[in-house]
Structure formats: structure tokens, C-alpha cells
């Protein structure tokens, strides 16, 4: 970690980045709250003159300074946080901007709308999340698929793929598959709706207390997928 909570020697931190880049590393991840912005400032110094070859990621959500509006996932704070990160990182764009934590006080659609606008403005190239419960990610995905959120739909498939794109899906990634109206989500797991219908251990459950949508979860401890479910018969799902 760069800065006061890790290594406070800026020159030493820049040398670390130099060594990493010289050895083929091209992805750097930081966050605004790491050392209260100092980490981003160090990364900005280290990447000066060689930004184009780097995939740069940062995050926002956690309190930055004083004031009740300087944290969270509201449109107001996300827009301010991105501008501040761009200044500290000395760059015109962020390749991956991540929401650091969930915010129960802000509707997820407000957050998704703000992030999508930032993509359209060219200030971020893509967005994601960090340490979100799987149910919140599924809720975000389902919101992207509602008729009033068509502008977000092109991001929905990659959101779900990020949850289900593992050979072994751990407890935190379930529930993470489907609503009842589409085959898309079950296809992401490599199973068909007919397979699911034959498997009594799958059950439909609400996404969350405020949601009317339902997702598919696995009730038993382990399901070993057979060749009818996947080309790789050794793959298992853990709930």
C-alpha cells in the first residue's frame, strides 16, 4: 500500500512501480481512500509519461474528508470522487472505476446511471464493484434488464459473467443465476432450464427484501455437474 498507511516514501513507491512495469505488469489498482488520496497521487507520479500502456483502476465510496456528502454511492459523490481521482492520478480517464462498498441509502439504479454517464463522458472506460454481496450484484444486473434501463443493458451480461465465470462458484456467488423469464442467466452457468427443472436441489428465492425479482439458488451443499450439464464433468457448484 502506498502512502501513510503503507510506504510513505514516494520515491521508493515510484521505484516499485518502475520495477513492476519493467517486468511486464500493466494493471495498477488503487482507491481514493488509500492514505486519504495519497496513494492515487503516488500512482499518478509513477505513471507520468507512460499512462497509455497501463490499465488503471481505482475505487470510491468510503468517507473522504469531512462532510456527510463525501462518501457513498450517490450521483453527487460519484461525480465528485471521479473528478478528484482524475486530478490525483494526473490522467484524463480511468480504465476501471469501482464502487468500493454497497450503499443501502442509495438506489442501485441511481449509481448505475451515474456510472453510465461517466462512461459516455469518457472519464471512465468501464465500471465494477468491490466486496459487494452476490445478491446486490444480481439485483444490479436485474435492474439493468428492466425496460426503463435499456441504456444499461449492454453492461448486464458482463456483470453476471463476473459472478458466474468461475469453475467453482463459492457461497458468496450464489444466488447468482437467473430470473424466471430468460434462458440467458442459466446459459452463463452452462446449464439449461430443462436441466434445472429436473434438479430438485435448485430453488427460486427473492433477490432481497425490497425486490420482487427471484433468482436461482442451490439448496444442497454440493452438486456435481454431469456431462449433461457441462462438458467438464469434474466441475461442481458449492452453495
Give residue limits of the domains in the chain: 1-132
Residue 185: per-residue pLDDT: 42
Quick check: 173 and 141 in contact, CB under 8 A? Answer: no
* Position with higher pLDDT, 129 vs 190: 129
| pTM, 2 dp | 0.66
Looking at CATH, the fold of the domain delimited by 1-132 is given as TIM Barrel (3.20.20)
β-strand partners of 217: 203
- End-to-end Cα separation, the chain, in angstroms: 33
| Rounded CA separation 170/152 (Å) | 27
**235 closest CA partner among 224, 227, 222:** 224
Residue 138: per-residue pLDDT: 80
| Rounded CA separation 178/160 (Å) | 10
| Rounded CA separation 12/3 (Å) | 10
- Which residues participate in catalysis according to the annotation? 34
| Rounded CA separation 92/69 (Å) | 24
Q: Point out the least confidently predicted range of 117-126, 198-207, 229-238.
A: 229-238
Q: According to the per-residue pLDDT averaged within each range, which of 59-73, 180-194, 223-237 is highest?
A: 59-73
pLDDT digits (tens, 9 = 90+) for 79-92: 999 999 999 999 99
Phi and psi for 177 in degrees, rounded to 5?
Answer: -130, -70
Amino acid at each position: 500500500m502506498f502512502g501513510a498507511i503503507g510506504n510513505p516514501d514516494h520515491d521508493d513507491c515510484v521505484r516499485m512501480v518502475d520495477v513492476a512495469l519493467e517486468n511486464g505488469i500493466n494493471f495498477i489498482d488503487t482507491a481514493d481512500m488509500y492514505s486519504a488520496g495519497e496513494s492515487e497521487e503516488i500512482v499518478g507520479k509513477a505513471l507520468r509519461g507512460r499512462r497509455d500502456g497501463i490499465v488503471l483502476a481505482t475505487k470510491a465510496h468510503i468517507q473522504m474528508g469531512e462532510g456527510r456528502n463525501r462518501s457513498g454511492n450517490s450521483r453527487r459523490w460519484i461525480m465528485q470522487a471521479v473528478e478528484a481521482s482524475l486530478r490525483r492520478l494526473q490522467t484524463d480517464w480511468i480504465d476501471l472505476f469501482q464502487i468500493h462498498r454497497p450503499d443501502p441509502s442509495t438506489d442501485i439504479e441511481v449509481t448505475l446511471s451515474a456510472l453510465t454517464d461517466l462512461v459516455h463522458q469518457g472519464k471512465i472506460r468501464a465500471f465494477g464493484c468491490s466486496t459487494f454481496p452476490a445478491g446486490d450484484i444480481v439485483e444490479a444486473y436485474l435492474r439493468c434488464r428492466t425496460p426503463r434501463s435499456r441504456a444499461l443493458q449492454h453492461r448486464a451480461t458482463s456483470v453476471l459473467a463476473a459472478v458466474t465465470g468461475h469453475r467453482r462458484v463459492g457461497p458468496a456467488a450464489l444466488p447468482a443465476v437467473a430470473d424466471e423469464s430468460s434462458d440467458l442467466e442459466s446459459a452463463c452457468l452452462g446449464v439449461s432450464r430443462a436441466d434445472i427443472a429436473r434438479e430438485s436441489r435448485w430453488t427460486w428465492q427473492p433477490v432481497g427484501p425490497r425486490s420482487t425479482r427471484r433468482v436461482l439458488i442451490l439448496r444442497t451443499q454440493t452438486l456435481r455437474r454431469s456431462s449433461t450439464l457441462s462438458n467438464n464433468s469434474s466441475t461442481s457448484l458449492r452453495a
